[in-house]
Structure 1
Amino acid sequence: MMFIISLLKSKFSVNIPKFSHNNLKKIRTGLFYCYRCTMSNKTEDIIEKTKQLAPRLTNDKHKGQAGRIGVFGGSIEFTGAPYFASISSLKVGADLVYLFTNKEPATVIKSYSPELMVLPILNDPEAIKKIEPWLERLHVVVIGPGLGRNDQTFEVITKVIETCRQKQKPLVIDADGLFLIAQRHDLIKNYPAPVVLTPNVMEFNRLVGDTPGDGSKQEKAAAFLMEVGSNVTLLCKDHEDEIISRGTTVKVSGGGSGRRCGGQGDILAGSLSTFLAWSIMADYAPNVACYAACRMVRDLNSKAFVKYGRSMTATDMIPEIHEVFEENFERK
Structure 2
Amino acid sequence: KNCNAHCKNKILMLERYYSLGSSSLGGMDDDIVSLVKSIVPPLTSKKHKGQDGRIGIIGGCKDYTGAPYFAAISALKVGGDLSHVFCTKDAATVIKSYSPELIVHPVLDSPNAVEEIEKWLPRLHGLVVGPGLGREDFLLKTEVIERSKARDIPIVIDADGLWLVTHQPSVIQGYQKGILTPNFMEFTRLFEALHHEPMNSSDHQRSVMQLSAAMGNLTLVLKGEQDLISDGSKVYSCSVEGSGRRFDPHINPSVVAAFGACSLTRQCNNQAFQRHGRSTTTSDMIQEISPAFRKLFEN
Q: Which residue of 2 aligns with 1:147?
A: 133
Q: Give the residue type in structure 2 aligned to 1:308.
A: H
Task: Quote the sequence identity (%).
Answer: 44
Q: Which residue of 2 aligns with 1:258?
A: none
5+ residue gaps, structure 1: 1-20, 26-35, 256-282
Task: Assess if the C-alpha contact under 8 Å between 1:100 and 1:122 holds in 2.
Answer: yes
Q: Which residue of 2 aligns with 1:271?
A: none
Q: Which residue of 1 aligns with 2:188?
A: 205
Task: Assess if the C-alpha contact under 8 Å between 1:212 and 1:223 holds in 2.
Answer: no
Task: Assess if the C-alpha contact under 8 Å between 1:212 and 1:220 holds in 2.
Answer: no
CA distance in 2, matches of 1:239, 1:57: 33
Task: Assess if the C-alpha contact under 8 Å between 2:213 and 2:233 holds in 1.
Answer: no
Of residues 233, 239, 243, the one that matches 2:229 is 243
Q: Does 1:138 align with 2:106?
A: no
Aligned length: 269
Of residues 208, 211, 214, the one that matches 1:221 is 208
CA distance in 1, matches of 2:267, 2:74: 14
1:98 partner SS: strand
Of residues 286, 291, 294, the one that matches 2:259 is 291
CA distance in 1, matches of 2:256, 2:124: 20
CA deviation profile, 1:168-200 (whole Å, cap 9, x unmatched): 111001000011101111101222x41110011
Q: Does 1:175 align with 2:159?
A: yes
Give the TM-score normalised by the residue count of structure 1.
0.75
1:86 partner SS: helix
Distance 1:325 1:219, change over 3 A: closer
Offset, 1:39 = 6.0
CA distance in 2, matches of 1:205, 1:241: 15
* Deviating 4+ runs (over 2 angstroms): 36-45, 212-228
Q: Give the residue type in structure 1 aligned to 2:153.
A: K
Q: Residues 85-96 of structure 1 correspond to what in structure 2 (within 5 A)?
A: 85-96=71-82
CA distance in 2, matches of 1:243, 1:225: 9
Distance 1:62 1:201, change over 3 A: same
2:288 partner SS: helix
Q: Give the residue type in structure 1 aligned to 2:125.
A: H
Give the TM-score normalised by the residue count of structure 2.
0.83
5+ residue gaps, structure 2: 1-7, 13-17, 242-250
Task: Assess if the C-alpha contact under 8 Å between 1:121 and 1:127 holds in 2.
Answer: yes
Cα RMSD, aligned residues only = 2.4
Distance 1:112 1:209, change over 3 A: same
2:110 partner SS: coil
CA distance in 1, matches of 2:295, 2:161: 32
Q: Give the residue type in structure 2 aligned to 1:226.
A: A
Greater relative contact order (CA < 8 Å, ≥ 6 in sequence)? 1
Q: Give the residue type in structure 2 aligned to 1:72.
A: I
Q: Does 1:194 align with 2:180?
A: no
CA distance in 1, matches of 2:98, 2:265: 21
Q: Does 1:58 align with 2:61?
A: no
Distance 1:107 1:220, change over 3 A: same
Q: Which residue of 1 aligns with 2:288?
A: 320
Q: Does 1:303 align with 2:267?
A: no
